Each structure stands twice: as C-alpha cells, then as structure tokens.
Amino acid sequence: MRLLMAGSPGSGKGTHSRRLGEHLNVPHIATGDLLREQVSLGTPLGRNAQTFMDRGDYVPDDVMVAMIKDRLAQPDAQKGFILDGFPRTQGQADSLDKMLADLGTPIDAVIVLEVPTEEMVRRLSGRRTCPTCQRPYHMDDEPPKDDETCDDDGTKLERRADDEPDTVRHRLKVYADRTAGVVEHYDTDSVVKRINGEASVDEVQERIRTALGV
C-alpha cells in the first residue's frame, strides 16, 4: 500500500505513520527524520537544512524532491510506503505526481489527521524525541517507562529546537499558509480519508485502519 500521511505539526502524523507502517509491514518515510539524520551527520545538506528547520521554515523544494526520489528508489519502498511530511507544497505535490506516474505506482490513500489548534500546541510543547531512533513521546500522554529515556534504546530524550513555543506558532502558520491547501490536490481522486485525530493514540489508530480497511 502507498499512503500519504497529512496533517499539521502536532497532529500525530509521526506516531500513527510509525504504527501503521509496522502493521502493514511497509517503511515509514518521514521527511523530518531524514532531515534530522542529515543534520546529526553534519552533511552539507544537513547544515543547509538546519537553518530552515530551526526557524520552523520549509527546506527548499528541490532539496526535498531529490531526497524523496532517492528514498523511494530504495528496495524496501518497492512493496509500498507511508510518506509522512511530504508533499508540503504544491510544487512537491506536482513532483510526486510525476515521480509516481513515471513508476506507474499511484497513491492508494491520503490520510488527513484533523486536530484543533490549541490541542496541537499542547501536544508539541509536551513532546520529547529520542535523538537516536527518533521515536516520539509525550510527557503527559505517552511518557517513557523510565523517566526521560527512550524505551527502545535508553538514550536521553530531547526537546526539538523547533518545539519551542514561538517556533511552534510559526510552524502552524507556515502549515496553514502553504500546506493545508495541498490536500485539495488529491480530493478529486476520492482517495482522501479525513480522520478526527482528537482521541487516544489507540483509538485514532483504529479509526485510520477502519477507514483504510486494513
């Protein structure tokens, strides 16, 4: 299955894509994770991307498109994928259309997680992430078993620089201005599944699976 996971920062895209990817046995491809990996490796791409990410701005389309093209060509993506965080601009959506048309592999569904703004701010400010495996936690909703370390690998959890309150507000504005409308691009194909994302993680995951019939 080839799926896009859409929704604003804090809507739960990462958490649900990860779980759904395990359930469907397809890779979870998160552009934010791919970028943060480049940043931590200190590559030229990572150094360039970091200036945009720390401000809560988007990394330029040409960089993102090249990155996704490369990732979708990997062997594990041939059986399907969940794309989390791409496309975020009209230009990226057009490029993805072209890529998938060339490969003859259309998208099966676009999941849109809908959550009210004040809830997104609450979620982002309580969020912590494992810098090693990128697993997300929430200090109130989904805390780690052991204080502030990752359940999977024991690394000390961190708060992302872009989860600071001012940057969160900026990211939500950028999303509203540049990304919210991109979903309409897919509406004509009736592949869009809008999911109310304001419930427990288990409940929302169940809603997604029911909507997809998986």
- Give catalytic residue positions: 13, 88, 127, 160, 171
Contact characters 120-159, ligand ADP, x per CB under 6 A: ----------------------------------------
- Tokens, residue 120: 């997104």
- The angle at the Cα of 197, spanning 36 to 161, to the nearest 5 degrees, equals 25
In the range 68-87, which residues lie near ligand ADP by CB under 6 A?
A: 85-86
What is the nearest approach in angstroms of ligand ADP to the Cβ of residue 155?
17
Nearest to 30 by CA among 100, 103, 184, 133: 133
**In angstroms, rounded to a whole number, what is the distance separating the alpha carbons of residues 202 and 209?**
11
Q: Does the footprint of ligand ADP cover residue 197 (CB under 6 A)?
A: no
* Cβ atoms of residues 157 and 149 within 8 Å: yes
CA distances from 103 to 24, 80, 89, 97, 100 (A): 21, 12, 21, 10, 5
Among 58, 81, 137, 186, binds ligand ADP (CB under 6 A): 58
Among 2, 18, 28, 88, binds ligand ADP (CB under 6 A): 88
Q: Which of 88/207 has CB closer to ligand ADP? A: 88
Nearest to 58 by CA among 161, 179, 184: 179
Q: Is the dihedral of CA 161, 112, 61, 80 positive or negative?
A: positive
What is the nearest approach in angstroms of ligand ADP to the Cβ of residue 167?
9
- Tokens, residue 4: 């896009």
What is the nearest approach in angstroms of ligand ADP to the Cβ of residue 58?
4
Among 35, 83, 111, 112, binds ligand ADP (CB under 6 A): 35
Provide the binding-site residues for ligand ADP, judged by CB under 6 A. Answer: 9, 31-32, 35, 52-53, 56-59, 64, 85-86, 88, 92, 162, 171
